[in-house]
Structure 1
Amino acid sequence: MISYPLRISLAGAPCSEESGGSQTPAGLAPHQEVNVADIALIGMRVRLEPLHPDHTSGLMSAAADGPFEFSRVPGSLAESFHYIKQARSLRKAGGSLAYAVVKNQDGEVIGSIRFTRMMKWEGTPSESSVEPDAVEIGESWLANTYRRPEYDIEVHFLMLRHAFEAWGVRRANFQIDTLNQQELETAESMGAVCDGVLRAHSRRLDGTVRSVASYSLLDVEWENARSGILRHLRELDQRVTAPSRESVLPLTGWTHQG
């Protein structure tokens, strides 16, 4: 049995299209894009590895395990190569940082996630530092086989943990399709607060117009949110029956690896 620290859980606010909030949340304008070091983020079930050409075939295999209603995924080896190449180009420009989600147990690539925006605010003390003041997390997807809370929440936890504890960001933001019930539940289970809904924000993969719910966590909320996430992960772990339980790393596995 994994031993998680238990403290308190911070409940997230429900977010519906009726909640309004048609303005972009304050402080998210990318005043200055940043360039930070590539670091693998190690969890219990998975690790997040900066997206690399070595992930090409694994990413394609994960993308073949659909369907994907809300995420754009590569449909062939060539598309997987282009997907990674494009992500790495954005990485060099300092605008985003994409990861492959890799199982610790066997090294299988099971999805992807990224910091879609990394922003440094004007007037920030020590502007010479490279760490962002705010981030947006998105473009996350998991192979259907692993589209379960224990994986989805851990992946997002690793991103949040790195943003708040390694970079010291002031705010982490998510923008989620209002029809994507699983990701809405994930955001709320992590203690994220609904800032409102951006109506008629963009188009879905099928061409229909989508609205997005904007959620955020602040640095002053992270300690409680972190405890709540770890508590939830423990509860999820306890629901896994012994015969189907995967071997996972001990709690000390929550580390950053350079």
Structure 2
Amino acid sequence: MAFLDPVTLSGRLVRLEPLTPDHADAVRDGNVGELWYTNAPTPDGVASDIAAKLEQAGRGALLPFATRRLADDRIIGVTTYLNPLPAVPAVEIGSTWNAASARRTGTNTESKLLLLRHAFEAWGCRRVAFRATWFNHESRRAIERLGAVFEGRIRNDRVTRDGTVTDTAQYAITDDAWPAVERHLTHLLRTHA
């Protein structure tokens, strides 16, 4: 399978399916787009956010997914492979946002497990990165809970939608850490989801 080729990834709680314009009306709860420190779209901006992701995907710059909760067949969010480095190989997982109703249900944990497994086992990645706005403490805790290692604070490299310049927290999981991280995430899903 070629790097960033569209794929569907399925688990027990969610299915990650290639993002399409048909997913635009699916996520309406939680208003994550109102948080100043994220670039998640407002409900009215979901369609244009999807269009922008699909345009970038067409150029090979990213691979976006809709997250479908299997229990009720609802689309509950979006997550993306981005910043691919096929020569390394390495990739970042980000541009993730989830409906409020999906939080703390195990769906995001399983989504990340599916994405990490595909990156490390299908693509042979040496590292998978995660980045969050410095002030997005909820996302930073979620990344740390996955088992990603904090690599540093990148100063003044991000502009939020309201024009605020802020910092980024950089994390990564490497291929040598992957077996332990996979075991950890599998355990979390089995015992807490």
Please indicate, yes or no, whether the TM-score normalized by the shorter chain is above 0.5.
Answer: yes
RMSD across aligned C-alpha pairs, in angstroms?
Answer: 1.9
Matched, 1:47 2:15: yes
- AA aligned opposite 1:84: I
The residue number in structure 1 matching 2:137 is 181
Identify the structure with bigger relative contact order (alpha carbons < 8 Å, sequence gap 6+): 1
- AA aligned opposite 2:99: A
The residue number in structure 2 matching 1:199 is 155
Whether the aligned pair in 2 keeps the contact of 1:63 and 1:111 (CA below 8 Å) is no
Please state whether the residue corresponding to 2:94 is helix, strand or coil.
strand
The whole-number CA distance in structure 2 between the counterparts of 1:196 and 1:184 is 12
Whether the aligned pair in 2 keeps the contact of 1:100 and 1:111 (CA below 8 Å) is yes
Matched, 1:80 2:46: yes
Q: 1:106 aligns with which of 72, 76, 79?
A: 72
Shift of 1:74: 4.5
Say if 1:107 and 1:135 are closer, same or farther in 2 by CA, change over 3 A. Answer: same
Matched, 1:37 2:2: no
Shift of 1:107: 1.6
Task: Please report the TM-score for the alignment, with normalisation by the length of structure 1.
Answer: 0.68
The whole-number CA distance in structure 2 between the counterparts of 1:73 and 1:234 is 32
Matching of residues 216-235 of structure 1 within 5 Å: 216-235=172-191
Deviations for 1:50-86, whole angstroms, at most 9, x for unmatched residues?
101221221xxx144324312321432xx43332222
The residue number in structure 1 matching 2:59 is 93
Say if 1:188 and 1:134 are closer, same or farther in 2 by CA, change over 3 A. Answer: same
- AA aligned opposite 1:65: G
- AA aligned opposite 2:31: G
Shift of 1:149: 5.8
The whole-number CA distance in structure 2 between the counterparts of 1:196 and 1:74 is 29
Deviations for 1:217-255, whole angstroms, at most 9, x for unmatched residues?
111110111001111222213xxxxxxxxxxxxxxxxxx
Deviations for 1:152-177, whole angstroms, at most 9, x for unmatched residues?
22221111111111111111001111
The whole-number CA distance in structure 2 between the counterparts of 1:209 and 1:220 is 34
Decide which structure has the larger Cα Rg and report it: 1
Please state whether the residue corresponding to 2:106 is helix, strand or coil.
helix
Q: Identity of aligned pairs, percent?
A: 31
The whole-number CA distance in structure 2 between the counterparts of 1:92 and 1:47 is 22
The whole-number CA distance in structure 1 between the counterparts of 2:4 and 2:132 is 25
Please state whether the residue corresponding to 2:163 is helix, strand or coil.
coil
- AA aligned opposite 2:54: R
Paired residues, what number? 189
The whole-number CA distance in structure 2 between the counterparts of 1:211 and 1:149 is 29
Unaligned runs of 5+ in 2: none
Matching of residues 136-151 of structure 1 within 5 Å: 136-148=92-104, 150-151=106-107
The whole-number CA distance in structure 2 between the counterparts of 1:154 and 1:119 is 24
Say if 1:204 and 1:55 are closer, same or farther in 2 by CA, change over 3 A. Answer: same
Whether the aligned pair in 1 keeps the contact of 2:19 and 2:65 (CA below 8 Å) is yes
